Structure 1
Amino acid sequence: MAKKGVRQEWEEALQQVALAANNIVPWKPLPGPQTMAYTSEADELFYGGAAGGGKSDLILGLALTAHQNSIIFRREYPQLKGLVQRCRKILKGTKAKYNSTEKVWSGLPDGRSLEFGACQHEDDVEKYQGRPHDLKAIDEITHFSKAQFKFLTGWLRTDDLNQKCRVICTGNPPTTAEGRWVIEYWAPWLDPKHPNPAAPGELRWFAVLDGEDVEVESGEPFEYTDKEGKTELVKPRSRTFIPAKIEDNPIYMKTGYKSVLQSLPEPLRSQMLKGDFAAGVEDDPWQVIPTEWVLAAMERWKKDRHISMTRPTPMTCLGVDVARGGAAKTVIAPRYGNFIGKLQKHAGKTTPNGGAIASLVQVAIVGDAYVHIDICGVGSSPYDTCVERGLNAHAANGAGGSSARDKSGKFGFINKRAEWYWHLREILDPTSGDDIALPDDPELLADLTAPKWKITSSSKIQIESKEDIQKRIGRSPDCGDSVVYAFGNVEFAVWAEDIATWS
């Protein structure tokens, strides 16, 4: 007779408990990180990192034993197959049944409910609008955009005072640039550059203040007065990250899965075996600006920031991306030759008209610097107001035609937006660029590495539209556009003069 494996022995023992106890779910967390995550008090928990740490089992176990009304998401429906199969094994011997059409389990002990969902496209989240659950679990969180995550978790609630509500996310380190928002969201645990790192499982509290995600001192409610002078009572939410590796899963350790992870090529090996969030993230081959080029520019900024602030280099330009109301921001990028100062970000609700934006520009501008201001959409009124006030304003019309060529001379541009983005790419190129220094700003990094490009049939470079980028990443790339405008060519002679002055 073949010897039983660890998993088989574990599950058979639990099945006997279930049958003896009349429809009790035969599951309990593994000792170590999985138990730590199961008992965590965090409102929003990220569990995982490495592969094989029992991520999927954790969210299934929580849904089946600790919550009344749960939903588990994957990005695409076919990816749910493994979760469904594992759920069948856990529930073997109970009265539970699965409806594959509705993707809902019925007959669960204690009247619990569990369903599965997917959001392949950005706007698929609307299918789940207004549907409350006390457990929102997102498996492989780095496959989702931040906008999807925030929308799906927006209806986390229950009418049972004894039921805890929580968000559980699982996943490995991101393998694409689009998943990097996760590192920013759980920065105290995942960002090695964070000034105040947190220990695994340690609770930190966060609140959204004036549209920004801000870490606060504790979970105690506090009164906050926003930029419009309105005061409200804010209740912070707790957040944590608990790492798990294959060594924490005795079942997978017995079956030799670790050797599979050890055989992966780098950086996938470090990501999946060690849960290394600092390992390289592969760029899309049609990404306009390579991530490493932007990171190099940010390293130059950090290295020279204290020197740059005392240099006699005059302000060259203000790049202004305009927002009037809504979730977008008005962002001002001050440029000093090849150095961009700290971005000035203003919530759209604080810049409702041209006068408000022009006033911000007047405060920010120094000397004879010119203003390159976005006039597409809502930007024409701020531009007109800047001109009326005697500012050296130039219209940034990204939809306008372009007669410029790339450095090779082979390609033209479909419009000014493509020309300006490609110009920034060229001056960031480490082999032939101009040693541009960009602020060490995670939002700016995400914005500049989001756009993709292609060559049209007329041999012109076309950059992904702002609207399409917004749909894909879930927000407007306002910080990136402001820097693009700061370096956008009003006159090539101006740029040449700036470089000469800086050097």
Structure 2
Amino acid sequence: MLPDLTDPAAIADALKYLTAEERAELDLLLTDGLPIWMPQIGPQMEALASKADIIFYGGQAGGGKTELLIGAALTEQEHSILFRREAVQLVGIEERVTKILGTRKGYNSQDGVWRLPGNRVLELGSVKDPDDWMKYQGRPHDAKLFDEITHFLELQFRTLIGWMRTDNPKVRQRVIAAGNPPTSSEGEWVIRFWAPWLDPMHPNPAKPGELRWFVTDKDGKDQEVPGPEPVKVGDDLMTPKSRTFIRSSVDDNLYLSLTGYKATLQALPEPLRSQMLRGDFMAGRSDPVWQAIPTEWVKAAQARWKPREKKGRMTAIGFDVARGGIDKSTAARRHDTWFDHLVQAPGIITKDGPAAAGFIAPLLRDRAPVCVDAIGVGGAALDSLRGLGVVCVAVVGSAASGQTDKAGTLRFRNKRAEMYWKLREALDPTAEDPISLPPDPELLVDLCAVRYKVVQLGKFAALLMRDKDEIRQEIGRSPDKGDSVAQTFVSGIPDTSIRYEERQDPPDWR
């Protein structure tokens, strides 16, 4: 009985019964006159043939993900660039391309440019630092290939794919990303980007290989649309881009099936086994040792959150004022232990004190104090708000704290450490009434990116939190949402619950 030639496991089993001479003859018959590279039957072939503009081929380790990226560059594209996060990680790719070609001819290792047979070009690139994407600004490629996509920052990925173009109408333009499930919170943007396939809570899940279409709305957010037809977004007519996800599997990789690689994956400890063997994108990510707020605590707070028609008294607003550029001013509206949806505005809208005050004024309720980041443009916003009679708390993260944790045993190096540790205590699921946070993916990343260390404060040990610029370097943007929420936990916020009717001269607003 002939083996099922669509089943790699069956083929591998049949090969065991061939002699060395028969294997050599079969290899010659199968490769004579064929292209320099061919995809394996199954998901790898499906991914290469997919019509999606942006493809994610991933899941299990050993599914031939890197091989797919190399194969696409060798056989389908005209001018490709293949990225790894760090340059040292490109060595394995250089070696694999050399093995497929049988030579390094045409490769300039200094420039990372490989001139391939058939007038094709493959560049190898890396973006170790968040702003390294600028090195490739305006460079034309018809294929952008990303190996281990969860290692990249979302900003890097979105920016790098923005310059994809070609002057050859016969060559398709596409993005292929390959990778395993994220092992830290920083890679969770991948689950958001391909949410219909990867997020089990998505209201309209998609099947592997199914195409979905997206545009970017006026606020810079992804918006799913019914199909490829152009849609109006604000004043612009936009052409949607299609995405898909195709799951890789070690069982579909004939070569690794022959070497026992699956047994290696089965021996991994949890949660790595679930991530790498089963391709489980929801398997628990391990937090760094010095992460200030556990990821699961933030997720639990977001799972507790429910929309409210009656929100109760507003007790504070955290106001993180943007300093320009791509940053956004952010307001976190706190109602005791429940936070409303965060509100943002581009930095250009809050560029000075009066403009920043105009952004906050419509959000105020119940004479809630506004906790303002008082550094830079925040100082001007603070003055303008006070001029309007708004109760304000100036938050200077570097200022001395003088506070301790709930148990009275830990001191804080400064106000930034104080407010983030107090937020941590409020998120503790064992607390009497832990807070609820809106299910905002960026807020999750912001809060989980905060690290702490123990430093000396006089004769005492004290906590110091990672500063904003360090977090920006890691996540590729300013952690405005996390900071605005944390600011509502700074000490010194007054209780303004007194009713306006009881005041002799109440302000002329809500």
Tell me if TM exceeds 0.5: yes
2:8 maps to none
1:48 maps to 58
> Are positions 1:261 and 2:272 aligned together?
no
Deviation per CA, 1:177-201: give whole Å up to 9, x if none.
1111111111111111111111111
Matched AA of 2:185: A
Aligned 8 A contact 1:325 1:350 in 2: no
Identity of aligned residues (%): 49
Q: Give secondary structure in 1 for the equivalent of 2:275.
A: helix
> Unpaired runs of 5+ in structure 2?
1-16, 499-510
Query: What's the CA shift for 1:35?
Result: 1.3
Aligned 8 A contact 1:426 1:433 in 2: no
- The partner residue of 1:174 within 182, 187, 193 is 182
Summarize the Cα distance change of 1:146–1:8 in structure 2 as closer, same or farther, 3 Å threshold: farther
Aligned 8 A contact 1:49 1:271 in 2: yes
Matched AA of 1:239: R
Matched AA of 2:418: E
1:88 maps to 98
Query: What's the CA shift for 1:127?
Result: 2.6
2:446 maps to 447
Matched AA of 1:413: F
Aligned 8 A contact 2:351 2:377 in 1: no
Summarize the Cα distance change of 1:400–1:264 in structure 2 as closer, same or farther, 3 Å threshold: same
Deviation per CA, 1:355-411: give whole Å up to 9, x if none.
233223221111221111222222122221111111122222222221112234343
Matched AA of 1:321: D
1:235 maps to 239
Query: What's the CA shift for 1:324?
Result: 5.2
Q: Give secondary structure in 2 for the equivalent of 1:379.
A: helix
> How does 1:299-378 map onto structure 2 within 5 Å?
299-302=303-306, 305-306=307-308, 309-310=309-310, 313-323=312-322, 325-378=324-377
Summarize the Cα distance change of 1:457–1:4 in structure 2 as closer, same or farther, 3 Å threshold: farther
1:30 maps to 40
Query: What's the CA shift for 1:10?
Result: 8.1
Matched AA of 2:140: P
Aligned 8 A contact 2:153 2:475 in 1: yes
Structure having the higher helix fraction is 1
Matched AA of 2:302: M
> Are positions 1:213 and 2:218 aligned together?
no
Summarize the Cα distance change of 1:295–1:375 in structure 2 as closer, same or farther, 3 Å threshold: same
2:146 maps to 138
Deviation per CA, 1:89-118: give whole Å up to 9, x if none.
2213x8954333333322x22200112122
Runs of 4+ in 1 over 6 A off after TM superposition: 5-11
Matched AA of 2:284: G
Which whole-Å CA distance do the structure 1 matches of 2:22 and 2:349 have between them? 60
Which whole-Å CA distance do the structure 2 matches of 1:78 and 1:352 have between them? 42
Q: RMSD of the TM alignment (CA)? A: 2.5
Q: Give secondary structure in 1 for the equivalent of 2:405.
A: coil
Summarize the Cα distance change of 1:366–1:495 in structure 2 as closer, same or farther, 3 Å threshold: closer
> Are positions 1:99 and 2:115 aligned together?
no
Summarize the Cα distance change of 1:90–1:9 in structure 2 as closer, same or farther, 3 Å threshold: farther
Aligned length: 478
Which whole-Å CA distance do the structure 1 matches of 2:278 and 2:97 have between them? 27
1:147 maps to 155
Aligned 8 A contact 1:6 1:254 in 2: no
Which whole-Å CA distance do the structure 2 matches of 1:352 and 1:217 have between them? 37
Matched AA of 1:102: D
> Are positions 1:121 and 2:123 aligned together?
no
Query: What's the CA shift for 1:7?
Result: 10
> How does 1:381-392 map onto structure 2 within 5 Å?
381-392=380-391
Which whole-Å CA distance do the structure 1 matches of 2:283 and 2:112 have between them? 36
Which whole-Å CA distance do the structure 2 matches of 1:422 and 1:440 have between them? 21
Which whole-Å CA distance do the structure 2 matches of 1:199 and 1:483 have between them? 36
> How does 1:14-25 map onto structure 2 within 5 Å?
15-17=31-33, 25=35
Query: What's the CA shift for 1:60?
Result: 0.7
Which whole-Å CA distance do the structure 2 matches of 1:431 and 1:350 have between them? 41
Query: What's the CA shift for 1:461?
Result: 1.4
Which whole-Å CA distance do the structure 1 matches of 2:28 and 2:79 have between them? 27
> Unpaired runs of 5+ in structure 1?
19-24, 226-230, 498-503
Q: Give secondary structure in 2 for the equivalent of 1:487.
A: coil
TM normalised by structure 2 equals 0.88
TM normalised by structure 1 equals 0.89
Query: What's the CA shift for 1:469?
Result: 0.6
Aligned 8 A contact 2:323 2:376 in 1: no
Matched AA of 2:363: A
Which whole-Å CA distance do the structure 1 matches of 2:200 and 2:453 have between them? 34
Deviation per CA, 1:155-187: give whole Å up to 9, x if none.
211111221111111000001111111111111
Mean Cα deviation higher: 351-360 or 471-480:
351-360
